[in-house]
Amino acid sequence: MRFLPEAETNTVLADTLALGGSAWMVAPDGKSLVRRIDPTAVEQFALATSPNHVASQKLAEAWGYAYGRQPNASYAWSDAIKAVEALLIPLVCPNKQKANLGGVAGDLKSAPHAWELVLEGTNGIWGRSDP
């Protein structure tokens, strides 16, 4: 019996699952199976979880709970919130001791003039209104 390297094994398994019309696919990390998901969503997930940051780790855990073989919506929701908190608390309310997502929302609401949402598109910047 010949053993294949892990990357090749994952490729063979991914191809087999796709050809068989399986509802499952190899997870982006190559370590488990997850429900088949739109490729664009998988690409965005891979980008969002590529930085070495606690938010990326929590997002990856949330994804596993949402789409894994034993889904758990409560854990998925909890880890998704922790991912958002890990990103926003240091930006919005870095000096608050026990900050949470509710505190972030309150701070954003109390000073909307201090924040601007800018989305970068393929043809420049979206969402910015220049006076």
Q: Which residue has the tokens 């606690």?
A: 54
Q: Report which residue type is found at 110.
A: S
Cα→Cα distances 38→60, 91, 109, Å = 16, 31, 34
Q: Residue ranges per domain, the chain? A: 1-36, 38-126
73-120, pLDDT tens digit by residue? 999 999 999 999 999 999 999 999 899 999 999 999 999 999 888 777
49-81, pLDDT tens digit by residue? 999 999 999 999 999 999 888 899 999 999 999
- Cα separation, 104 vs 81, in Å, equals 12
